[in-house]
A and B are shown apart, each in its own frame.
Chain A
Amino acid sequence: MAPENMSISVNGQSQVPPGFRFHPTEEELLQYYLNKKVSNQRIDLDVIREVDLNKLEPWDIQEKCKIGTTPQNDWYFFSHKDKKYPTGTRTNRATAAGFWKATGRDKVICSNSRRIGMRKTLVFYKGRAPHGQKSDWIMHEYRLDDNNTSNCNITNVPTVVGDAAQEEGWVVCRIFKKKNLHKILSSPILSTTSITTETRSGQSLFDSCPEGALEQILQYMGRTCKEEENEAYINNNSTRFNLQPINTGISNTSNHNGFHEKFLKLPTLDSPNSTSSQDCYQPNIHEGMMVTENNNNPLSPFTDHHQNMDYHAHHMDSGITNWAALDRLVASQLNGQTETSRQLACFNITDPYDNDDHDHELQLPSTLRGPLSSSNTYHATHDYNNREIDLWNFDRQSSPLSSSDTLCHLSTGPI
């Protein structure tokens, strides 16, 4: 590709021709752009600029890394990694307003079944660690792999090897705002396009979930959860046969607090299903709640739950509006003859959750749901349809309230 052909200047006045957008594949990012950058070769077009991550907030990057005049959903830049401590290997990614925090595991990027690099996912938090507030800004940071020979079939490469070397030098980054399916769905004006695209992307979110990934997660969580499950089982039994001591006994408080804390972690396992299994969880909460209230014990360990309940009730409201929105969506899609049956399939799932049912289920005292409910949902995770809804649920969880929301679903077992 000869430079003469480049009649477009990108960051100056003009112009990528209308209709064209910079959507590089990961391969292009690594093998063309980052490779050239690292080896100091000239890149014909100054599409990807250099950004000092410490100086620019994500919303500033957005401005600086504009390509042409067309609207963009993602922005690209080169960044030079800079060590947090002179001797250490940790990277400093703090800005004036917040910081980037890595999440998950690095993903291996392959080309022709050869490892070419790694991708790290980071989230922008406003404020200072550890009290930062999570934002919707996501960064994918790509680095080249020195280790070019290794086979791509090993996807879970331990990232320790050569990590020190990889912690400096150029990386190429993409930032984007996490799509909030929720907001879009509940907005009253729905153009067909937004439905289509959102549905599609939502869909692909699930379909693109690698087979092994789920198992990985489950395994990852399995350890903690199994223990807790057992404990829950034992405790639940005693709860059922002997309610009094638990709710009145101050001596039990510490024990319960400990327990409570454990359950705070439980959402790791169960939260993906919380939406779909609300019918079995909610009532238990109510049960516990009522007992607590009857006893009127200010020292009751359930005070926390109480609060959470409030949060939760609050949250349910918003949840219902959203389901309503989904219903509307289904209706509108049906009226307009859906473009794809797929979309319908996707939205039909929401039917059981229409408002009335929801309210109703909240009232149901279900003593029938036994201690095993948590393990049931564990298996239910294999149900892909359910997961579909769940991820939407994840979106919701970015709000501070929702954390207690999850907690609520989970703390029901032992009560």
Chain B
Amino acid sequence: MGDNQFKLPPGFRFDPTDEELVVHFLQRKATLLPFHPDVIPDLHLYPYDPWELNGKALSEGKQWYFYSRRAQNRVTSNGYWKTLGIEEPIFSSSSSNSTSKVGMKRYLTFYVGEAPNSGIKTNWIMHEYRLSSSASDCASSSTTTRSSKRRGQPKTEYSGYVLCRVYERDEEEDDDDDGTELSCLDEVFLSLDDLDEISLPN
């Protein structure tokens, strides 16, 4: 898993924004710039099934990250990834170039079985990030629709690197109340506070 020598104190988690994934990890990987920390492995040659990723991809919580290459058909030994048809531009908000499009994110679902049509849909989801065909010429285009449309065949996008985040959607969202949000009970009490105030005679 890379030359992951660094250690962070308890409480730090790998929880990158889309922008960080593209700008820091994907751009640097694609341009072969060295970067630290090199925590995300390249699994291009290993089309693992999503449940095999543990221990191979960078895992944080129930999400796995790895590099791969752009592929028309992402087929694994037991199934295939099928795109959901949703694409989303990723913007960089760095001060130097005010909001420029740096990449695209697309969503895929994993099907067990044979591609393309005989698979059974699973709960495994992939977010696949790629760099924009040319990060510069879309600069400061607020008209995202234009830039997200293909203009002919995209040029070779750097080395064709993509960054993948894979996770299994929970059927029942687990109860991990780590306190980063208000609990349902808290919400109720909060609204009770409002009511207390109303019932006070003014």
Chain A residues within 8 Å of B, Cβ to Cβ: 1, 5-8, 16-26, 28-29, 32-33, 43-45, 47, 70-71, 73-74, 101, 103-105, 107, 119, 121, 123, 130, 134, 138, 140, 174, 176, 178-179, 191-193, 200-201, 203-210, 213-214, 216-217, 261, 264-265, 267-268, 271-272, 336-337, 339-340, 342, 387, 391, 394, 397-398, 402-404, 406-407
Contacts and interface: CB of A to CB of B under 8 A. Distances in A.
A121 B58 CA distance: 34
Given A26-B179, A337-B84, A19 B21 contact: yes
Contacts of B10: 24, 28, 32-33
B33 interface: no
Given A19-B14, A337-B85, A26 B178 contact: yes
B9 A208 contact: no
B8 A20 contact: yes
Given A19-B25, A336-B86, A208 B125 contact: no
Interface string B160-182: 00000000010011111111111
The majority secondary structure among interface residues of chain A is mixed
Given A19-B16, A337-B85, A339-B107, A47 B11 contact: yes
Task: Using C-beta atoms within 8 Å of the partner chain, give the interface range for chain B.
Answer: 35 or more
Contacts of A130: 197, 200
Given A134-B193, A268-B195, A403-B198, A216 B181 contact: no
Contacts of A213: 183-185
Sort A-B residue pairs by CB-CB distance and give the 3 closest, nearest first. Answer: A24-B11, A104-B189, A19-B16
A135 to B, nearest CB: 11
Contacts of A7: 6
Given A26-B178, A130-B200, 5 more contacts: A18-B24, A70-B20, A103-B190, A178-B182, A210-B185
A21 B13 contact: yes
A206 B8 CA distance: 32
Interface of B: 5-18, 20-21, 24-25, 36-37, 39, 84-86, 88, 105, 107, 125, 169, 172-195, 197-201
B181 A206 contact: no
Given A17-B6, A217-B188, A205 B13 contact: no
Given A123-B193, A207-B175, A213-B184, A339 B84 contact: yes
A204 B85 contact: no
Contacts of B13: 20-23
B7 A18 contact: no
Given A20-B14, A342-B169, A1 B198 contact: no
A8 B8 contact: yes
